[in-house]
Amino acid sequence: MQDWTGVLHLDTEERNGRTVAKRVYFQGAFKVMRPIYHDESGQVCYYILNPGGGYLDGDRYQMKISLEKQARLILTTQSATKIYKTPNRHAYQETEIILKEGSCLEYIPDPLIGYRDAKYKQKNIIHMEKGANLLYADIITPGWSPDGDKFSYNSLQLINEIYMENELVVYDHIKLNPALQNMGELGLMEGYSHLGSMIVINEKSNQDFLDMLYQDVDTHTEECKVGLSSLPIQGFTVRVLANNTQTIEKIFSNFHHIISQEWFNKTPSFLRKY
């Protein structure tokens, strides 16, 4: 396992109208539950588990996920990813995802929580073929602090590189560094404590669809800030600033429902964790 704290490899394929695993391998502090089929669509769902309960000083995690043509996968976590105090070396997670033509990945982990003096870096590298579909969302939240400080973590860094037919089409880099930055400034958290990001890539994405999402956003503007931007390819990205996780989750859930109903004529699965 070299120096990885946890390793997870999951390869999936479509077989007789149902997505199944070609290979599942995990070792160390990474596991997956048995596959779950929430409905009759054939889409499979896997829950990622971290038996250690959280990421500690110098922890390193590796995931490799692949979807063959027409495979449909929901990937989520059993609970929030907790980053604890890392006095010497930052915790690190690296994920490589391969999406073949016609495949669909919904990667919706629970929130990332940074506790006091936490340092964490996450890098997702996604390779897509034309006709592949992606919905990815993450939420950054501050951990509890005895003095009520909203930004007691040291630094949280999230990088997303997305390649379409081997060409880099999306580079998304978030770095929150309260140790060196004034988090209340314009362009950073602007008075909010929680940050949500969503990336959606689908050939059905267009301006009319974004206008539909903007109408839904109008109902939340009093409790958060929301921004939508088109990508260089057919897709869009969403940013949400808020003061609690539930507000971001509600917006993302609404968007997920609209996407599923408009593009796939189905209702998204309820990813119950309790």
Whether 231 is covered by a domain: the verdict is: yes
Whether 269 is covered by a domain: the verdict is: no
pLDDT in tens, 22-78: 999 999 999 999 999 998 899 999 999 988 789 999 999 999 999 999 999 999 999
pLDDT in tens, 106-145: 999 999 999 999 999 999 999 999 999 999 999 999 998 7
∠ CA 149-151-153, nearest 5°, is 115
- DSSP string for 223-251: T-EEEEEE-SSSEEEEEEEESSHHHHHHH
With tokens 């929430």, the residue in question is 38
Report yes or no: 245 and 238 within 8 Å, Cβ to Cβ: no
> Helices 245-264 & 207-217, crossing angle to 10 degrees?
140
Whether 55 is covered by a domain: the verdict is: yes
What whole-number distance in Å separates Cα of residue 19 and Cα of residue 100? 13
Confidence at residue 179, expressed as pLDDT on a 0 to 100 scale: 84
Number of domains in the chain: 1
Range of the domain at 177: 6-264
Whether 1 is covered by a domain: the verdict is: no
Whether 44 is covered by a domain: the verdict is: yes
Whether 80 is covered by a domain: the verdict is: yes
Whether 244 is covered by a domain: the verdict is: yes
**Does the pLDDT at position 162 exceed 60?**
yes
* Token representation of residue 68: 């063959």
Whether 145 is covered by a domain: the verdict is: yes
Confidence at residue 52, expressed as pLDDT on a 0 to 100 scale: 78
pLDDT in tens, 193-221: 999 999 999 999 999 999 999 888 876 66
